[in-house]
Structures are given as C-alpha cells and as structure tokens.
Amino acid sequence: MSINEIPIWAADAAAAILQTVLKKDPFTFHHCCRVGLAARQLGKAMNLPEFELAILEYSGLFHDIGKIGLSDSILLKPGRLDENEHAIMKNHAEMSIQIIRPLTKHAFFRFLVPGIRYHHERFDGKGYPIGLMGEKIPLIARAVAVVDSVDAMMNTRPYRQALNWDYVQKELIDYSGTQFDPNLVRIYLDAAKNGFFEKEALKDDVVIQHILRAA
C-alpha cells in the first residue's frame, strides 16, 4: 500500500466518529463539517495535490472532535470560559488525536496529527500547545487555523451572535502575521472573492455528503 494512499474506508471512519460528535454536541458536529469543507477549498486555492487536499479536509473534520470529552458545563457554557475552564478546553486538540489514535496504523491518518495538534498555534509564537512560530507550524495546521477562526466568527456562539463578513475580513487582515500566516490570509481572501467558499462550490464534496447522509 502506497504511503500516499487514502484508505477506501476513510469516509466511513469519519462518518462514524462524527456521529458520536453529533450526539454530544450538534454545534461541534456542524462546525467540524464546515471547517473540513473550507480547509479543502483553501487547499484548492493553494494548488495542493489531491492527497494533501484530503489531509486538509480530514484534519479540519477531526480538529475539534476531542470536545466530546469535555463536560457539558464547559462545552455548552452560555458565557465565556474562566481561566481554569479555558485551560481544560485547551486539551481538546490532544483529545482529538487520542480519538483517531487507533486509525493511525494507516499512514494517511498519521498525516492528520500535526494539523489537529497545532491548529491553535499562532504565527507569532503565542499559541498553544507548545508555542511554535511562523513556518515551524505545520502548513496544514496554519491553514486549519484560518478556516477554523473564520467559521467560529461567522457562526453564533453561546456567548455572542454571528459576526458579519466585513468584520471577519478585517480581523483576518488585522491579525495577519500575528495570529495567522499572512500568505494564507492573502490566499484565503482572494479565494473568497472568487467564490471558493460559496455553497455552490461546496455541494459536491463526496466526504461531507457521506457524513451528512449518515447523520
């Protein structure tokens, strides 16, 4: 089996895992689906080959699945988390990796680990879990960080309403080079102008459609 082969059962595995997420927290389920979709589209704008597009998509799909291991009092809290709660929340990426650990016997799933583990690192080195800086952060993680943040801002959270695109665009620009990879921000914004993230461009994604049919 080639190291660059996507297992034929990968979509089934994703559907099974995300079914569990859906039962625990529908918001996280839909967030993961949207981030997976957007990550793949950003990869297309980056002209990545199909195997890397799949890595991006699955990394986005799985980046937050570890949240099912959090207590409802933290995951569903209607206000902002306090310092202790936030420290617990920061473990969710590692918890996500633990969920897919049995699948990492296959090389494809091992390639997902960096994007999941480091999607909260910041370009200026002030992120977590270990404070990686700049291009020391894996490219997949830098890409997931952009689309994850956009989706978080543009959807209603327990503690605030959804933000509009003008606000989100300004945030991406303002935090380019600090929170986000400036080159990926540029690519993302150009792709958005060209309709990469419109519903019409997303409707035929095979993996997401498989997951949603199983839901």
Tens of pLDDT, residue by residue over 104-120, are 999 999 999 999 999 99
Q: Answer whether residue 43 is part of any domain.
A: yes
Helix (H, G, I), strand (E, B) or coil at 1: coil
Report angle CA 122, 39, 189 to the nearest 5 degrees. Answer: 75
pLDDT of residue 140: 98
Query: What are the tens digits of pLDDT across the range 4-23?
Result: 789 999 999 999 999 999 99
Domain that holds residue 122: 10-214
Domain count of the chain? 1
pLDDT for residue 199: 78
Distance CA 188, CA 130 (A): 25
Q: Identify whether 197 is part of a domain.
A: yes
Q: Would the pLDDT of 1 be above 60?
A: no
Instruction: Give the pLDDT score at 127.
Output: 98
- Which phi and psi angles does 210 have, rounded to 5°? -65, -45
Is residue 146 domain-resident? yes
The answer to whether 128 and 121 have CB atoms below 8 angstroms apart is: yes
Query: Could you give phi then psi for residue 160, rounded to 5 degrees?
Result: -165, 160
Count CA atoms closer than 13 A to 130's CA, side-chain side. 9
pTM of the entire predicted model:
0.95
CATH code where residue 162 lies: 1.10.3210.10
| Backbone torsions φ then ψ of 119, nearest 5 degrees | -75, -5
Residue 5 counted as domain residue: no
Report pLDDT for 2. Answer: 62
> Each residue of 157-211: pLDDT tens digit?
777 889 999 999 999 999 999 999 999 999 999 999 999 988 776 777 899 999 9
Q: What is the mean pLDDT of the chain?
A: 94
58 CB burial (10 A radius; 0-12, 13-18, 19+): buried
In a domain, 1, yes or no: no
User: Residue 88: inside a domain, yes or no?
Assistant: yes
pLDDT recorded at residue 198: 87
Angle, helices 26-45 vs 50-62, to 10°: value is 160
Give the pLDDT score at 39.
97
Helix axes 26-45, 139-154, angle to 10 degrees: 130
In a domain, 2, yes or no: no
**DSSP code string of 41-96:** HHHHHTT--HHHHHHHHHHHHHTTGGGGGS-HHHHT-SS---HHHHHHHTTHHHHH
Is 4 within the bounds of a domain? Answer: no
Tens of pLDDT, residue by residue over 62-91, are 999 999 999 999 998 888 899 999 999 999
pLDDT at 4 (0 to 100) = 78
